[in-house]
Chain A
Amino acid sequence: MEFPLKRVDDVIWELPRWHRGDMRVPVRVLADESLLAQVQRDRSLAQLVNVATLPGLVRFAMGMPDMHEGYGFPVGGVAATLLPDGVVSPGGIGFDINCGVRLLAADVPRAGVDSIERLVHELSRSIPTGYGRHGRLELSGDEMDRVLSEGCSWIVRARGLGREEDLDHIESRGSLTDASAATVSERAKQRGHDQLGTLGGGNHFLEVQAIDEVFDTAAAEALGLRRGDLTVLLHTGSRGLGHQVCTDHVRIMDAVHSRYGIQLPDRQLACAPLSSREGRDYFGAMCAAANFAWANRQVLTHTVRSVFTRILGRGTELRVVYDVAHNIAKIETVVGQRVCVHRKGATRAFGPGSSDLPAAYRDVGQPVFVPGSMGTASFVMVGLEASSEVSFGSACHGAGRALSRSAAKHRVTGAALRRELEAAGIVVRCASNEELAEEAPVAYKDVERVVDVVARAGIAKRVVRLKPIGVLKG
């Protein structure tokens, strides 16, 4: 089914509220003609229309340029509900709560490193995948509660895995104060107790890169990014703990939403008013899972730093540039309203001047990381003031899938892709060729086009481009 979207600005398209009788707000999509044609081919627009039926929504339900079909919310979906009685929907955040991206910058130029193969190999040996037991940080019950309540700061201060200044460069300093460990189930804690410091599977990855182009010198300088230097991009989330938190609370809300008079076109959109007990319990558990995810990326950062020191020598510095969540709900003020912003596969992109940004970045805006597909470039952008009005202070979170995993495997074999990447000078570590093919560049949208739409929409601007030189696939 083709959706009759009308252009309302250069790259903003709208489906009016009267498109379907149960919609409460219009749907808006950020796209150029090519990306719009791609989202018309899967079910992402139908899912966004379903999102537009949620009680308490303000303004519109929005799709980012990397939007694709998900479950409940599309991936790349953003929606804001008015406090206090607008709903919170666990499906609007997803199972991988605070899945996100952290960028580390090394003070060494790519040209000075002749051991990339060894570096990537050592990273793959040191970072646990699968069910193996090495390299994980195991937590006692009390320690788990501290991580859930305090997030990254506990990892840095109590475990000594990192530095105090790391915290300054993490969204919300890696700790949400609304976290409630008591609303996280024992099953969730059981799943997470030995998962800190693990990458996980799917599209999670660690990439070693070189900064190959600077678009905005002043912003790059503020972020400490220099052409030619090495960077490391980490993509992972809250692992089994976050998955279980979502599972538990979807089940609870699936049972109670009708009590609040809520009718849903999709059970996965199960929700409850944020002011209700179920809403508050989920929000507290979600914040706790978000803290766990930041702690996970902090432990991984420590591992990466250890490997860099081992391979490149003592004195090699790896600085946290920033760490962003792209599956999360946050209470924010947008265009004068206190709202709960659901970002499912979308990055916060506050413009300059926001008090939520670290002092060092307050003049340039929030860093936004846009990973490309395996083997293609990634981008560092910074949020612009207009993002508040245009997109609830949000931007895209990556290139966005264009093909299913099985379709990708029909287009390319893992062995051919491995050869192609190696010929391009990219060291690859992935357990199987089949998994490699599932994440092939052909399975993703053109990241340059996605970034171009974000820039044209005025919600973020390009700062630097990162070229991959080593990939460890989770």
Chain B
Amino acid sequence: MSRALEEHTGEVRLRLQADSLPGLFEEAALAVAELMCAECSEPGGGALPVRVGARDREALLAAWVDELVFLSETRKRVWSEARVEHLTDTEIVATLRGFEPVALRTQIKAATLHDLRIAETAAGSFEATLVLDV
């Protein structure tokens, strides 16, 4: 499992890697939390159930990140723990736990569909690139 930022002149390009597709979505959630807060606190409070749908697997990844951003803004929390319960190409069911940040680092506006890719490697792991507007 890994997450890294790649060069993009104006925005943030995320490169994600995980052993499984659910792991890739969980990795995306961690990357979003780390962008929002330099140091994430221990998640507290109850788990928040989330269900997100989209047209296809790539759009689902963008919609998942958008949901995290929406829930952060409206609930004033950063989601540092995501557990995927169920995942298809068009739907994700998960639970989130998070914390109330003291200060935000990068405010994410949205996930874009630009250059959005999810690929399965020969070794069976999954990789994705995703550009975020920040």
Chain A residues with CB under 8 Å of chain B are: 42-44, 68-72, 75, 91, 94-96, 129-131, 187, 190-191, 200-202, 240, 243-244, 246-247, 250-251, 254-255, 266-268, 270, 401-407, 431-432, 434-435
Contacts and interface: CB of A to CB of B under 8 A. Distances in A.
Q: Which one of A131, A246, A403 has the greatest number of beta carbons of chain B within 10 Å?
A: A131
A131 B133 contact: no
Given A131-B101, A201-B107, A435-B105, A68 B9 contact: yes
Q: Is the interface of A mostly helix, strand, loop or mixed?
A: mixed
3 closest Cβ pairs, A-B complex: A201-B107, A71-B114, A267-B113
A251 B103 contact: no
A68 B10 contact: yes
A191 B70 contact: yes
A255 B76 CA distance: 31
Nearest to A38: B9
B9 A69 contact: yes
Nearest to B77: A131
B109 interface: yes
B83 to A, nearest CB: 23
A95 B12 contact: no
Interface residues of B, number: 36
Contact of A401 (B10, B59, B74, B103): B10
Given A68-B10, A251-B59, A191 B74 contact: yes
B9 A254 contact: no
B87 to A, nearest CB: 19
A307 B113 CA distance: 41
Contacts of A406: 5, 7
A95 B113 CA distance: 12
Given A95-B109, A240-B73, 14 more contacts: A43-B9, A69-B8, A70-B11, A71-B133, A96-B109, A187-B70, A190-B70, A191-B74, A243-B110, A254-B59, A267-B114, A268-B113, A403-B9, A431-B103
B66 A247 contact: yes
Given A69-B9, A71-B114, A201-B134, A191 B59 contact: no
B92 interface: no
A405 B70 contact: no
A71 B14 CA distance: 13
B108 to A, nearest CB: 9
Interface in B6-50: 7-12, 38
A78 to B, nearest CB: 16
B104 interface: yes
B103 A130 contact: yes
A266 B106 CA distance: 26
Interface string B105-123: 1110110111110000000
